[in-house]
Amino acid sequence: MNVLVPRAAVESNGQIASKTLVQAGITGLGHRVPDRILTNAELETLVETSDEWIRDRTGIEERRIVAPGENLASLCEAAARSALENAGLSALDLDLIIVATCTPENLFPSTAAQVQNALGARCGAFDLEAACSGFVYALICASQFIATGTMKNILVIGGEVMSRYVDWTDRNTCILFGDGAGAAVVSAVEDGFGIIGFDLGADGSGGELLHCAVRPTETNNAQIFQNGREVYKFAVEQMGATAVRALESCGLSGEDVDLLVPHQANIRIIKSAAKRLKMPMEKVFVNLQKYGNTSAATIPIALSEARQSNRIQSGDTVVLVGFGAGLTWASAVLKWS
């Protein structure tokens, strides 16, 4: 579904009446990446690869890796504090925290609950898992609570520590991933602004193409597997297609977009999506050369950096689009307020 659904209210006569929707949008952004940089040159000492090969195939030059003492919750907390400061809010103003991640430190408690405690917030908290599409899934989920008026301020975080699950002897995957977190505060905005369209989807039949199997009894209990060729074909097709559907849901096309903020997985896939939307690369925000694929964190980190570098202005139409394991895809259209 790609339209916001109003809350139903029961009147005294028992009739169902619709309630006017509140427009939801992003009112604060922040991000945090580890200080430790792992370059392509360093990877040359670990596996049979080269800086030239990695850059040519992916566009990645380096990635960030957590150091001892850092973990997913600490990255998410730091990103959250920046987003709250940017929004002019305190943790006590929050009604809900959603963390999109596929690399939790624990099966339970949730990362969101750990972040809630670290921030000193007093609100609901849960994790959401849709792999690299997770942040957009969580953003749309949060927007529904705002739209119905049941909540005022929601913190949405996309955070990953992919390095915990990477097999550093597998050159097909270890070159791709990095760690980081990005956060957004979702609140009510003026009519005509905020999230004006979206598209969410999944095809579970492709789950084996990109997965991380957990084996609790083994020393190396989790390992990422990717069928690179098939995932690439899926991403090239679906990344552009989901963006088109989201734009069509609000009567727009690629020509109306001021900035595309895609999932940062592969420069070739990003260029393909831009071509599908008939957009020049000058209107696409790319930072994967610095961070690699941080899964659910790529879009909020990129969005936060785009704001910091003044790539987003009031009134701009911004499209977020991602794809990932599941297989999943997600896109959102925002009118920046």
Interatomic CA distance for residues 261 and 264, integer angstroms: 9
Q: What is the pLDDT of residue 1?
A: 39
* Tens-digit pLDDT profile for residues 58-97: 999 999 999 998 999 999 999 999 999 999 999 999 999 9
Q: What is the pLDDT of residue 226?
A: 86
Q: What is the pLDDT of residue 211?
A: 87
- Give Cβ neighbours of residue 330 (< 8 Å, ≥ 6 apart): 130, 133, 136, 137, 140, 198, 199, 200, 201, 242, 320, 321, 322, 323
Query: Burial, 69: exposed, middle or buried (Cβ in 10 Å; 0-12, 13-18, 19+)?
Result: exposed
Q: What is the pLDDT of residue 212?
A: 85
Interatomic CA distance for residues 22 and 140, integer angstroms: 14
Q: Domain boundaries in the chain?
A: 21-188, 194-335
Give the relative orientation of helices 134-147 and 298-308 as an angle to the nearest 10 degrees.
70
Q: What is the pLDDT of residue 10?
A: 42
Q: Which CATH class is domain 194-335?
A: alpha beta
* Tens-digit pLDDT profile for residues 319-336: 999 999 989 999 999 999
Interatomic CA distance for residues 27 and 272, integer angstroms: 30
Q: What is the pLDDT of residue 228?
A: 80
Please give the positions annotated as active site. 132, 263, 293
Please give the single-letter amino acid code of residue 149. Answer: G
* Tens-digit pLDDT profile for residues 254-278: 999 999 999 999 999 999 999 999 9
* Tens-digit pLDDT profile for residues 155-169: 999 999 999 988 888
Interatomic CA distance for residues 173 and 144, integer angstroms: 35
Q: What is the pLDDT of residue 224?
A: 84
* Tens-digit pLDDT profile for residues 107-135: 899 999 999 999 999 999 999 999 999 99
Q: What is the pLDDT of residue 37?
A: 98
pLDDT band at 51 (very low <50, low <70, confident <90, very high): very high
Q: What is the pLDDT of residue 314?
A: 95
Same fold, 21-188 and 194-335: yes
Q: What is the pLDDT of residue 4?
A: 46
Q: What is the pLDDT of residue 218?
A: 55
Of the chain, the percentage scoring pLDDT greater than 90 comes to 82
Please give the single-letter amino acid code of residue 285. Answer: F
Question: Own/partner pairs for 164-171, CB < 8 Å, 24+ apart?
Answer: 164/66, 164/103, 164/105, 164/222, 165/103, 165/212, 165/222, 165/223, 165/224, 166/224, 167/220, 167/223, 167/224, 168/46, 168/47, 169/46, 169/47, 170/47, 170/223, 170/224, 171/47, 171/48, 171/49
Q: Does domain 21-188 have CATH number 3.40.47.10?
A: yes
Average pLDDT over residues 287-311: 98
Interatomic CA distance for residues 213 and 40, integer angstroms: 26
* Tens-digit pLDDT profile for residues 135-185: 999 999 999 999 999 999 999 999 999 999 888 888 889 999 999 999 999
pLDDT band at 221 (very low <50, low <70, confident <90, very high): low
- Give Cβ neighbours of residue 109 (< 8 Å, ≥ 6 apart): none
Residue 220, CB-side half-sphere exposure with 13 Å CA sphere: 9
Bond prior to 109 in cis (omega within 30° of 0):
yes
Average pLDDT over residues 20-43: 96
The average confidence (pLDDT) of the chain is 92
Interatomic CA distance for residues 26 and 312, integer angstroms: 12
Cβ count near 93 (within 10 Å): 16
Assess whether pLDDT exceeds 50 at residue 190.
yes
Cβ count near 241 (within 10 Å): 18
pLDDT band at 12 (very low <50, low <70, confident <90, very high): very low
Q: What is the pLDDT of residue 219?
A: 55
Interatomic CA distance for residues 25 and 65, integer angstroms: 31
Interatomic CA distance for residues 189 and 314, integer angstroms: 12
Assess whether pLDDT exceeds 60 at residue 14.
no
3-class secondary-structure state, position 259: strand
CA distances 293 to 24, 47, 72, 155, 302, Å, are 28, 18, 15, 22, 11
Instruction: Extract the tokens encoding 159.
Output: 């955070």
